[in-house]
Amino acid sequence: MKRTFFLNFVTRPLTAGISLLLLLSACQSAPNSDGESASGEADSPAAEGADGALKLGTVLPITGDLAQYGGPMQDSASLLVETVNACGGALGQPVQLISEDDQTEPSAGAAAMTKLAEVDRVGGVVGAAASSVSSAAVDIAVRNNVLQISPASTSPIFTERAQKGDFKGFWARTAPPDTYQGDALAQLAQQQGFNNVAVLAINNDYGNGLTQSFTAAFKELGGTVVNESDPVRYAPDATTFDSEVTSAFSQKPDAVLIVAYPETGSIILKAAQEQGLLDGNTKILLTDGMKTNDLANLVGKTGDGSFIATGVLGTAPSAGGPGFEQFNQVYRAKFSDRAPGVYDPNTWDATALLVLAAEAAKSNSGEAIRDNLREVASGGEKVTDVCQALSLIREGQDIDFDGASGSLDLNENGDVTGTYDVWTIADDGSLKVQSKITVGGS
């Protein structure tokens, strides 16, 4: 399944945009309900075609294991573009957004990036979410001089490859790498008094990278990963996990770290409950991949009506940057039935950086966007409002855009540092943030 959106100014009713404009400040203009652009522009190179308009793409998991995140992430990217278009667009024209479903599958992600880069000729792409999908797509982006910014791919492999020069600057991300989350998890385990932990992780870039970074950080703090030599790994397409669960809990560790996504992770927790392993003696640690408001309902209840997931502890990049309240206001006005999800602020920020870099470059080419990306993220006047940022750039001023997810100061590897939420599931099934852990790096 693939979805294609063109966000542009045409003749659809502006009712939604008018109501949003009444709610928001004049500077942070609210989106109108844009229509579709004319067909036939997709074959024009981004640096030359579409009358100089900025064309961007998204590669996000609308379906598959990460679909609970992908739909809202897509909404956040679309909302940023609508907001920008309501305050004048970029390069003097409305920004166009072409969106593809990566199905949480590397092959689908690669196909989506190929279409966006080689057929649609976009200048930048927001995505993917899964690290395995970004790994499959990024070389296609680099080959075509398209800047890829992921809001959620956190595997350390991207830092390693960037250090080798593989990406030529055409890669960045607005979520900190799992070298930092591994540190945050290790600190959380130590704070909880866990001396030994077992790991059960999805066997992909995300799971393997986080396993490695947590193990190194936990050992440095004096902890022991009881299955360090042979962590329990499961295939991304697995549907049953009884043997994996038995193995992970077999040494009766203080805690089991489960690195998973909601669909498979909820089945793992159900299997542990059915095996009588969630008796309180071994605690459960989770990561950002499982942070969803629906987790308690996905996992289900015990025979006495209690939520199985109650009391789990996890980490996830914190959403609460200086621009979060502005983003939250726009988001709530558009989607009154829900709050932003875990990676929605990062998606908003990734899309904003592409727009701002293009405006600063006065060009819609991937090379020009790449060359101006770090400049709009640091070094100038601090600004959190994307429309104000565009206005300052047009006036010739340097900006330092701080986003909804936090500071967006990018290092030479395309990484940001971050603060992590420590989250849990309360007795009533709701997801609560208990505290924060700050992790540095450069």
H or E element at residue 60: strand 55-60
Tell me whether domains 15-176+320-417 and 179-318+419-439 share a fold.
yes
Average pLDDT of span 123-144:
98
What does the pLDDT look like over 261-274, one tens digit per residue? 999 999 999 999 99
Domain 15-176+320-417 has CATH 3.40.50.2300: yes
Residue 280 reports pLDDT greater than 80: yes
- pLDDT reported for residue 432: 96
Return the beta strands (E) in 236-299 as ranges. Answer: 255-259, 283-286
Residue 21 reports pLDDT greater than 70: no
- pLDDT reported for residue 51: 66
What does the pLDDT look like over 361-377, one tens digit per residue? 999 999 999 999 999 99
Does residue 352 contact residue 401 with C-beta atoms inside 8 Å?
yes
- pLDDT reported for residue 32: 38
With the C-alpha atoms ordered 236, 173, 298, 75, is the resulting torsion angle positive or negative?
negative
pLDDT-derived band of residue 160, with 50, 70 and 90 as boundaries?
A: very high
Query: Residue 414 and residue 176: Cα distance in Å, rounded?
Result: 10
Residue 292 reports pLDDT greater than 80: yes
pTM beyond 0.75: the answer is yes
- Would you list the domain boundaries of the chain? 15-176+320-417, 179-318+419-439
Residue 26 reports pLDDT greater than 70: no
Superfamily of domain 179-318+419-439: Response regulator (3.40.50.2300)
More confident: 39 or 170: 170
Look-up of token digits 């991937």:
366
